């Protein structure tokens, strides 16, 4: 298995001071990760439609804080949002899952609002009438559903995300890693990706 992402999820001053440094984050990613293998299929989005059924049980058990360990793609973010752990590890046998989560991390870092996050993720431009910071997720999804993705937006959003990893996060993207990166960002930009939200 490989480390796919490490993040401190809460926003208190005490926890902010405990966050991993860029150097430590990069060391964990590089030291714990394995080279990629061959798989007959890709798993860029969850195929589970009932993963939220455990949320009520998590609430009953008072699952808050501590450390979170998950596997697979984006469904982990829902659990992390509900549990608010101090640190989270996402592991998966596919190396591309690590690249995908690093893509998410870069886009999270670059996007101050949910609308900007989804705009970058799906390569759908925000216009003057775009939803604001206080808009509901339903309003944001309805707005972006009516706007087609385009190559220009993909280019202008993918490059800053890659620079984020190479620069501030000091993550070196080798040729094979770049191939996986382009696959993940390209898949996120496709029209099929909106089905994840609707």
pLDDT in tens, 122-142: 888 888 899 999 999 999 999
Q: What is the mean pLDDT of residues 138-165?
A: 82
Q: What are phi and psi for residue 192, nearest 5 degrees?
A: -60, -25
- Cα–Cα dist 113/51, whole Å: 25
Residue 12 has pLDDT above 50, yes or no: no
Token pair of 164 as six digits: 């984020």
Reported confidence tier of residue 8, pLDDT bands at 50, 70, 90: very low
The domain tally of the chain equals 1
Q: What is the mean pLDDT of residues 51-80?
A: 84
pTM of the model: 0.71
Residue 34's domain spans which residues?
2-196
Reported confidence tier of residue 112, pLDDT bands at 50, 70, 90: very high
Residue 190 CA to its chain's centroid (Å): 16
pLDDT at 135: 93
Reported confidence tier of residue 186, pLDDT bands at 50, 70, 90: low
């Amino acid at each position: 298995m490989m480390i796919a992402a490490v993040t401190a999820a809460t926003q208190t001053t005490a926890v902010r001071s405990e966050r991993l440094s860029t150097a430590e984050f990069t060391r964990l990613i590089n030291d714990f990760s394995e080279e990629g293998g061959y798989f007959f299929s890709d798993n860029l989005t969850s195929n589970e439609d009932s993963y939220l059924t455990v949320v009520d049980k998590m609430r009953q058990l008072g699952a808050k804080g501590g450390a979170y360990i998950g596997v697979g793609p984006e469904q982990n973010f829902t659990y992390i949002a509900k549990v608010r752990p101090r640190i989270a590890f996402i592991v998966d046998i596919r190396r591309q899952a690590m690249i995908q989560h690093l893509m998410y991390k870069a886009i999270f870092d670059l996007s101050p609002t949910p609308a900007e996050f989804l705009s970058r993720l799906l390569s759908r431009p925000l216009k003057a009438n775009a939803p604001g910071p206080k808009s509901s997720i339903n309003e944001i999804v309805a707005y972006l559903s009516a706007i087609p993705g385009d190559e220009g937006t993909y280019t202008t959003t993918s490059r800053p995300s890659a620079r984020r990893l190479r620069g501030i996060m000091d993550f070196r993207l080798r040729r094979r890693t770049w191939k996986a990166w382009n696959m993940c960002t390209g898949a996120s930009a496709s029209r099929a990706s909106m089905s994840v939200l609707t």
